[in-house]
Structure 1
Amino acid sequence: MHQTDEAATQTAEAHVIPLREMLCLALHRASRAMTAQYRPLLAAHGITYPQYLVIALLHQEGTLTVGGVGDELGLESSTLSPLLSRLAERGLVTRTRSTDDERRVEVSLTAEGRELGEQLEVVPFQVCQATGLTPTQAREVVAQLSGLVDQLERAAAV
């Protein structure tokens, strides 16, 4: 082996990160553990975690376009369309064409959806308790993760 090849191999080996220390695995496991905390709380209401996110968003923000819902939740339209269809079939949301622009579809909670949104307001607090974090600590983690997402999206756009 040439000296430069050997130096390159040593440099690469110095940068090897054990799987257990990889950020991607820690985030994946944290996401799965978090979703698992929500699952029984939402099952009592007959909804899934992605459905919960839509209901919670519309409960807090009011009427949004389908694109706005997708942007806020980071969901592709291929995921969002069937999700909204299921919520509409359950009578929790309505989808209507915008009067300003027929190309836009607006999503709103029905009266039943608003009632469910009110019932679900306690869920994030219950999950936060399961994390062992204080509300302030949870907000700090969210801020760090939001910054990480922004950085990764900027890096992907380059």
Structure 2
Amino acid sequence: MIARTDDRQPPPVEADEADPLALERQLCFALAVASRLVIGTYKPILEPMGLTHPQYLVMLALWEQEPRALSEVARLVRLEPATLSPLVKRLEAAGFVTRERSSHDERQLALRLTPEGRRLRQQAERVPEQVVAALGVEVAELAHLHAELSSLIGRISPEASATPAA
């Protein structure tokens, strides 16, 4: 093995406000950590209901309105249909939803709640208050954060840029 003649290491970069690459200054880092922590808060709340967080999002969409086309649910929860399909199959196996061909368009798969899926909504009504309590953050602060994130999503999502100008 050949030894390096220059064993000097570059000086460590200090994470200060002048460093544009400081980890703590990165929006992506803050969002990723916050997302993992918040979604992790849901896990022990949803487990007794037999739901994962992505499944909970699908159920929320169906509790708002049903039947819904699989493609519409995918758009609402912002998942690709190919990602959503196995998740929906697990919800069907658990007895919460049914998948059937749409009577309006045979190419569309319609999702409907089962009676058990409708009953699950009663348990789910307690989820938001349990999450707020587990996070230990004021509701007003969470509402403000939600509004800010929703605004950001609206400005940067592909759908926003695809909207024709009036």
TM-score, normalization by structure 1: 0.83
2:115 aligns with one of 111, 114, 118: 111
Following superposition of structure 1 onto structure 2, how do residues 23-102 of structure 1 map, counting pairs within 5 Å? 23-102=27-106
Indicate the residue corresponding to 2:140 in structure 1. Answer: 136
Give unmatched runs, 5+ long, in structure 1: 1-13
Alignment of 1:147 with 2:139, yes or no, is: no
CA displacement at 1:152 relative to structure 2: 2.2
Indicate the residue corresponding to 1:10 in structure 2. Answer: none
The 2-side partners of 1:84 and 1:35 are apart by: 19
Figure out how many residues of one structure are paired with residues of the other and give that number: 145
CA displacement at 1:59 relative to structure 2: 1.2
Q: Percent identity?
A: 40
Segment drifting more, 134-143 vs 27-36: 134-143
Letter in structure 2 aligned against 1:141 = L
2:20 aligns with one of 13, 16, 25: 16
| Dislocated runs of 4+, deviation >4 Å | 154-158
Indicate the residue corresponding to 2:125 in structure 1. Answer: 121
The 2-side partners of 1:124 and 1:44 are apart by: 15
Segment drifting more, 43-52 vs 31-40: 43-52
For residues 79-126 of structure 1, the C-alpha deviation after alignment (integer angstroms, 9 at most, x for no partner) is 100000111111110111111111111111100011112211111121
Letter in structure 2 aligned against 1:81 = S
For residue 157 of structure 2, give the secondary structure of its aligned residue in structure 1. Answer: helix
The 2-side partners of 1:119 and 1:72 are apart by: 22
Give unmatched runs, 5+ long, in structure 2: 1-17
Whose helix fraction is larger, Structure 1's or Structure 2's?
Answer: 1
Letter in structure 2 aligned against 1:62 = E
Cα RMSD of the aligned pairs, angstroms, is 2.1
TM-score, normalization by structure 2: 0.79
The 2-side partners of 1:17 and 1:28 are apart by: 16
